[in-house]
Amino acid sequence: MIKFKCPNCSHRIGAPDDYAGKKARCSKCKQPVRIPSGQQIAEAPDPDVIKFRCDKCNQKIAIAAIHVGKRVKCKKCENICVVTVAAVAPAPKAISDNMLDDTPLKLAEDYADGEDMFGGGTDLSVLAVGDAVEVERPALPEEPKEPLTDVRRVSLQNEPKPQRKLPWPIDILLYPASVSGILNIIFVVIGNIIAVFGGLLGFLASLLLTLYIYWYCCECIRDSAEGNLRAPNAFNKGFDLLEEFWQYLKVLATCVFFIGPAIIYYVYCGFTETEINRPLFIFMIVYGITFFPMGVLAMVLFDSLQALNPWLLIRSIISTLPQYIGLVILFYGLSIGYYLLIGMITIGAVAATAVTKPNIVETLLGMLMFKIVSGIGFLWLVITLCHLLGRFYYKYEEKLYWEV
């Protein structure tokens, strides 16, 4: 397996060995990258990463340079370590014929066990050439203690992501409750209502709004996949209409691929007045319910029809089976809960109308308010579901291993 970082956004990427030299697309920034060979990676230094060892169990630890001075927890023995500046022992160098100095060059392997190349008394008997060696830093003023950060959850490029301050069932439902999220929901709902009265232009405007909210939902999945807990600000990001249209078709194809068989079979039996084969119909429904969330998540992150690869989806579901079952239950539970709530509101409105007998103006205003409330509720639900998918990837990225 080849592991490297995207040259555009520094996102960690993994690819099979036989992909070396080929082009791929980064799942985070969507920019094309060329997959290097293992030799190229070995020769390329990484100045942004500090390597040091746990002072208790001698476990090697690598972490971003921006975390210097912070406390982390060793993933092996859970000892508390301080991230320190490290220097890498130089590799052996050959003596060229044109060297002016006749003094023999002392190579790294010439040092005896326990002898320090850096003059600080570091025991090199446990280190190989090229391993990280801790270097003493000048004393710094004491800083307030920071909360411990598990090194396994620290990004190589970003600061630790925010943690939930509310119980997770409540915090998940509040994901759209950012300024950008609320403005986008209101903008799309009001825009679609106005577009109803616009004829052909209104239809085109409604289509553009649909593509826009689809794009925003994809951004919510990607944003949640990075660990964020509130809907992102979309006003400072580019919106490519043609590219989003093609991606919209891919996600639509994903929906048809998983949900379509059951719907098509049901409609076919209705038109032809054929008795429904219950075992077959139930199998189609279970198939769609099981694979649809994982398929949408894969399609948004891959942006490729490779997301419909059955082996990829089956392997991903099996590797995260307990967690994925919880995701599916929550995903469809929220959807069913929304429609039950809308149904109760509809029944209550009909009952109130039968009692109060409003005039035509009051009826139209009531219908308009219901349209606005139900539209806001629906988009709130969709963005929340997108957060669930992205958060699932964020928490179980190592099990899914979808970098390429």
Residue-wise pLDDT tens digits, 57-108: 877 777 766 667 777 777 777 788 777 664 333 444 443 444 333 434 334 4
The one-letter amino acid code at 320 reads T
Bridge partners for 60 per DSSP: 53
The one-letter amino acid code at 26 reads C
Contact 10, 156 (CB under 8 A): yes
Q: What is the pLDDT of residues 286-343, one digit of tens each?
A: 999 999 999 999 888 877 777 788 888 898 999 999 999 999 999 999 999 999 999 9
pTM for the whole thing?
Answer: 0.61
State the average pLDDT over residues 171-191. Answer: 91
pLDDT given for residue 37 in this prediction: 76
50-53, long-range: CB within 8 Å, 24+ apart, which pairs? 50/83, 50/84, 50/85, 50/86, 50/132, 51/86, 51/88, 51/131, 51/132, 52/81, 52/83, 52/84, 52/86, 52/132, 52/134, 53/132, 53/134
| Residue at token pair 């920071």 | 146
Average pLDDT, the chain: 76
Instruction: State the DSSP string of 27-95.
Output: TTT--EEEPPPHHHHHHS--TTEEEEE-TTT--EEEEEGGGTT-EEE-TTT--EEE---EEEPPPP-PP
Q: Is the pLDDT of residue 262 over 80?
A: yes
Q: What percent of the chain has pLDDT over 70?
A: 73
Q: Is the pLDDT of residue 109 over 90?
A: no
- The candidate with the shortest Cα–Cα distance to 292, out of 265, 248, 328, is 328
The sign of the dihedral angle between the CA atoms of 371, 372, 377, 378 is positive
The one-letter amino acid code at 71 reads R
- The candidate with the shortest Cα–Cα distance to 5, out of 226, 157, 131, 154, is 157
Q: What is the pLDDT of residues 139-153, one digit of tens each?
A: 444 544 444 444 333
Contact 155, 64 (CB under 8 A): yes
C-alpha 181/C-alpha 396 separation (Å) is: 25
Max CA-CA distance within the chain?
A: 107
| Residue at token pair 């929220």 | 334
The angle formed by the CA atoms of residues 322, 404 and 211, to the nearest 5 degrees, is 85
Q: C-alpha distances in angstroms, 272 versus 48, 134, 268, 279, 332?
A: 65, 77, 6, 19, 31
Q: In terms of DSSP bridges, do strands 149-150 and 71-73 run parallel, antiparallel, or are they unpaired?
A: parallel
Contact 334, 389 (CB under 8 A): no
pLDDT given for residue 224 in this prediction: 92
Other CB atoms within a 10 A radius of the CB of residue 366 amount to: 15
**Would you place residue 1 in the very low, low, confident or very high pLDDT band (cuts 50, 70, 90)?**
low
What phi and psi values does residue 150 have, to the nearest 5 degrees? -70, 125
**Would you place residue 112 in the very low, low, confident or very high pLDDT band (cuts 50, 70, 90)?**
very low
> Would you state the structure tokens that stand for residue 386, as one six-digit string?
């997108």
Contact 397, 227 (CB under 8 A): no
pLDDT given for residue 146 in this prediction: 44
Q: Which helix (H) or strand (E) holds 149?
A: strand 149-150
